Every structure is written in C-alpha cells, then in structure tokens.
A and B are shown apart, each in its own frame.
Chain A
C-alpha cells in the first residue's frame, strides 16, 4: 500500500463478526506456521475466522474449515489492535472480550476450552511482530493520515506538463530545479516535527505572511530536505523573521548579503551535516538543503524575489544556500551557541548571520598566536572596505590547523576575540576621506579618534573545516546591529 492509495475505512469489521474466535496470523512468522494445524483443530471449538496479514493462501483452510480473510491494508489488524502474531481473540456481541498472543498450549487450551491442542508441538513459542509494527507501514500509514490535514492549495499539473518545468513556470524556484511538493512528500516531511501543521511559525517578510509549519514543509520538500532536517529549517525561519535579524532589510538591500545558518548541537551529527572538509562548500545534502529551504520560504511565502524587492547589486552565490555546522567534536573552544547565547552544548541551535561572502585568510607560517591573530586582523580589516569601521559584522571561521596554534598556547575563544578587537582599533587618520588616496572614508572630524573596526558583539568565531590547510575564512556581514541585522541564535525544537 502506498500513502496515495490509502482511504480511511469507516465501517467496523469487528462489529459484523459473529460470536466466536478469531485468529490473526502472517505467513512470514515461524510460530504462525507452527500452529497452523492447531487452527484446524480449533474450528470445532468456535474458530470462525483467520485473518492473514500477508498471504491469502496461508493458512491452508481445510474443507468446511474457517474463513481466511486477507488483511492486505492491515485495517482489520489495526482495528483489533494487533501487536503480535499469532493472536487469538474471543469475540462476543461485536466486541473483543479476551485475547492471547503467541503460542502457549496451556493458555490456548484454557482460552478455547479445547483439550490436547497441538500435542506434537512444543509447549511454548513466542509470536512475531504484527505487520502493523513494520516501520515502513507505520510511516506510510502516518503519511496517509496526515494528507487529509494538509491545507495548502492544490495545484493541478496537466498530463502534458512536465512537473519540473511547471514549477519553474509558476515562479517557485530559485533557478535550480526543485523537488515537486506532492501531498505525500509534504506529509512525510511533516513527520519530522512534533508541531501542528497549522501552527504559525513566523510572519515572513516582505509580504508579512503568516507562515505555517505546513508551508515550511512544502518549501523544505522543494529544497530537497529530509524530514529530520525540518526542525532546523523551522528554527532558521523563526530566527530569520525576528525583528532583530531583519530578513526584510536583508532581502531588500542593494548589498551582497543573504542569510547564513550556522548549526550547533548533537543534531548536526545525527542528521549528518558537514562541519569538516569543504564545510562551506557543496556536496552535503543537509547543509545544502537547509539553507536553500530558508531562502525558498522567503521567496515563496514571503514574496521576496530577486529583481523585485530583492535589489542586490550583485548578490552572492550563498543566496542559493549557505548553511554549515560547527566542528564541535575536536574544537578547542566551547561551541558558538554556548558562547553566544549561554545555551548548553547538548542543545541544538541555529545562529543566523547576514553573510555577504567568504574571503580566505592564508597564513602558513605563524606558529605563535600573536602572529596568527595579526594575520586574521589584517584580513578582517578589509570587510566592506579597509577604511570603513563600525559598519559591518564579521564571522571568522577557523580551521583545525589554525585553531591548534591558539589551543597550544592556551588561548580561549574570548582571549582570541579580545586580542582581535584590540588589533582592530584603527587610528582615525587612516580612515578619513582622502587618506591613502581614497575618497571613501569617514569625515575629517574623526581624524584624531581611534575607532574599532567592529562593534561589540559583531565578531563571531566558529570552528570548522578539514584537518589539512592553514587557511581560515572571514565571512563578511551586513549593516550591523540595530541599523541592519543583529546576529540571532535560536534553539532548534522538535
């Protein structure tokens, strides 16, 4: 049975049964095969019906024997609440009055009033699991039950239409093909969360649309997510749509930025996110599809489309998707969600950052933390423009080979942060308009001041990347803090 075939059964099978015994079996059960001859014996003691879950030819019914009913969709087994086969039930007036499971000669004789049952058989054999407990059936059933609860408008795709092209034609994609969001796929996706499909997750800009869990699921399907990614996508949507993160402004800006999702916690390992080799690159389904799902929600639910309200002069390739996990298992430092939000390491969280792009920092010679910190600071000064300060945030992604330099010298994450902030105190004379022959810069009145490159709270430090390579990366941000976007950390729910 597939989810699409399933129809709820309205009438009770049990209510129509005559008083007597019913046995539920399956052919794929050694105990059921063992006790098949006993079922023949029980006909004389009131066994009226044998319900078989998998094979209409099992058990063989002798002449004038009981009726064998095939329960191919397992609706009868579900109604009878069968957990184990064989199960013997006593029916009176359309109700179950007693049951026994597995094979036990004593129990079956007491249950049926018959003597000398199955004398050739062992005294006892445990039963097998009912097919209703088969994980594939349980999932299909859950999907089938969820489909009628879906509220999204149904879009009929014509017989002559290619569904992939139809989704492009309707403007639902980011330029790459999307997975067609069939009701069954969306219903399966909703199995990834405990939340009600109609619960409002966020009000999505720019159109300020109430976005349900179901709408997030539709877009998560299209992005290529698995159901187990959905809680992360939901948290990312919630975080992005806060007043602090300001997804509206981030979308509308002429600047490069789009949302970066950094994921922390055990869920990153359980769903197989990449925090190692090529962590910021392609090739990992969870990384790729979670970031993409967030962008599809903003596009499709919020109505934020490039060239319309998205006015980016250039944009950046991360606007397709930009999501990675922190490399926590061998990090010398506490994870981002712990240092930023005071969460516990075993909690799951997303941190949203308005990311403009990735810039390498190469330093293959520094073995002292002071030297490497200077290299980082020199690179970080270029964020936005070397003569602009206090305007942009920065996320520094440090790879294991660079992190080891700080770890070996006993530098905490806070120490590195503070040293970088100190190195990025810049004399105003270098920043004013005209300095170094560049018109860009600050008004002349700042010439005698000393100014920090970044605001307090505007510098993130994250550990990620492969084991080899003395490279780190700075991810430049967007208009920082209350002016533009605040970095937001949000717990991932269930």
Chain B
C-alpha cells in the first residue's frame, strides 16, 4: 500500500481572470502613475509623466504609503476608478 502524507500547502486553486484588453494607443487615455515610494522612483515617474503628457495622456499620480506593503485596497479602487491604465514604478 502506498504511503499517505498530508499536503502542507494552502491547497489554493488559482483563479484565472482575463486580462484587460491592451489599448491600441495611450492617446487621450487617463494614465495612473503609481509610485511605490522607493528612493528615486519619483525621478523615473516624473520623466514618464512628461513623455506621456506629450502624447496627449491625462496623468494621475498616486503613491503607496510604504514600498514594503501591498497598496491599500482603497488606493487600488481609486486608481481603477480614475484611470484607464496604470504604470507602477519600482526603483532601487
């Protein structure tokens, strides 16, 4: 008889969700820029904001309270409500 061991994992079954459609162009879209608050992430995002502004995007800036924790759910909802796409900046 084969031995039985107990599964030590959370036994999760991953949920599969369809990705949002990739926009053909960013022109005229509301673009969220999320700064995770790592040092100099703002430098990167400032440059992105300039470049996207030149393409006719409307920019909304957001930042996480701390880079060490997931974005709070209210912030995620706010971004989803205000933006068509979001760019998250990591830096180190």
Contacts and interface: CB of A to CB of B under 8 A. Distances in A.
B81 interface: no
Nearest to A178: B8
Contacts of B7: 152-155, 218
Nearest to B92: A254
B11 A155 contact: no
Contacts of A485: 68
A303 B12 contact: yes
Given A482-B66, A484-B66, A219 B8 contact: yes
Contacts of B70: 248
Contact of A249 (B2, B3, B10, B69): B69
Contacts of B9: 172, 300-301, 303
Interface of A: 150, 152-159, 163, 166-167, 172, 180-183, 186, 204, 207, 209-211, 215, 218-219, 222, 246, 248-250, 252-254, 296, 300-303, 479, 482-485
A250 B65 CA distance: 16
Contact of B2 (A158, A210, A219, A246): A158
Contacts of A218: 6-8
Given A157-B2, A300-B10, 12 more contacts: A157-B4, A158-B2, A163-B5, A172-B9, A181-B5, A182-B3, A210-B10, A219-B8, A246-B68, A249-B69, A296-B8, A303-B10
Closest 8 CB pairs of A and B: A249-B68, A209-B10, A153-B7, A152-B6, A300-B8, A157-B3, A218-B8, A484-B68
A162 B54 CA distance: 62
Contacts, number: 90
Q: Is the interface of A mostly helix, strand, loop or mixed?
A: mixed
Q: Is the interface of B mostly helix, strand, loop or mixed?
A: loop
A479 B36 CA distance: 15
A21 B6 CA distance: 46
A424 to B, nearest CB: 23
A253 B66 CA distance: 12
A219 B10 CA distance: 11
A215 B67 CA distance: 30
22 contacts: A152-B8, A153-B6, A154-B7, A155-B6, A158-B2, A166-B5, A172-B9, A180-B3, A182-B4, A183-B4, A204-B10, A209-B10, A215-B10, A218-B7, A218-B8, A249-B66, A249-B67, A250-B68, A253-B68, A301-B10, A303-B12, A485-B68
